[in-house]
Structure 1
Amino acid sequence: MFTTTVTPRFGDADGLRHINNIAISEWFEQARNPVFRFFTPDLDLSYEKWKLILARTEFDYIGQMYYGEDVEIHTFIVRIGNSSFTIGQEAWQRGGLKAKGQAVTVHYDFLNKRSVPIPDDIRKKLQEHLVTEDEK
């Protein structure tokens, strides 16, 4: 599991200091970078080097988050398929779970416009961060 600490920006909050729902999408994407590095270590976004495409995201908002307090994002793998995998994420503030979500990500060849199998060495790295529902 990876942990990323996010400090909410002023623009992430509304007039009541509540964090806007769209901030979760941005924070979760930022916290997926360690997983992205398995595929593209330097995070080079060129077509020749970038190997992932986002197929689906979903978020559940469980509790309010507030400006002025850090948020801890937990990132882990919940499923590994042939060419796709699912990243699970949770946002914690004040010791409580405030949001959770998943992102289905596909190992993708942009030049040939098709999914490709996840290489064994990367699959092994993903498996090191595989978390079952019981382990959360």
Structure 2
Amino acid sequence: MYRTLITPRFSETDALGHINNTVVPVWFEEARTPIFRCFIPTLDHRQWNLILAGFNVDYLLPTYYGEDVEIRSGIHHIGNSSLKIWHQALQGGKVVAQAEVAMVHYDYEAESSTAIGEEVRLLLAELQDPRPW
């Protein structure tokens, strides 16, 4: 498991006074940066070789402006050409949202998935952790 600290912005609040539901997936994407770097160390978009194949988020409690959010993340499955990632967002020590993400290593020229190489697998293994729910 690894952690990413997010400071909610005032502009991310909605008319109900809490963080809008569209914001949390963006935070989870930010938390995937260490995983992206395993595949593309420079994060150069011209070398991008990943696609988001699935994303499911559960909102458990409201999230508010004024208190940092800790994102806990881990990889719980590495397949031949794909991986499954989990995220949990915590505010005030409570889990406010959690998500499961499926990503695929992809060859955009061939328009097909491609095997994850051994070097990348070793890097991903360092981020592996069982899903906590």
Shorter-chain TM-score above 0.5: yes
Return the letter of the residue paired with 2:18.
H
Amino acid at match of 1:27: W
* 1:75 partnered with 2:84: no
2:60 to 59, 62, 72: 62
Q: Over residues 6-27 of structure 1, what are the superposed CA-to-partner deviations in whole Å (9 max), with x where a residue is unaligned?
A: 1111121123431111111100
* 3-state SS of 1:21 partner: coil
Q: Deviations over 1:33-91 (max 9, x none)?
A: 11000000010111xx1111110100011111111111011111011110000111010
Runs of 4+ in 1 over 2 A off after TM superposition: none
Match of 2:116? 118
Per the alignment, residue 41 of structure 2 pairs with 41
Is it true that 1:8 corresponds to 2:29 in the alignment? Answer: no
Q: Displacement of 1:112 after TM fit?
A: 1.3
Q: How many residues align?
A: 133
Q: Is the 8 A contact 1:19 1:65 kept in 2?
A: yes
Unaligned residue ranges in structure 1 (runs of 5+) = none
Gaps of 5+ in 2: none
Q: Which amino acid aligns with 2:34?
A: P
Structure 1 match to 2:129: 131
For 1:100, the equivalent position in structure 2 comes to: 98
Tell me if the contact between 2:70 and 2:91 (Cα under 8 Å) persists in the aligned partners: yes
Contact 1:2 1:34 in 2 (8 A): no
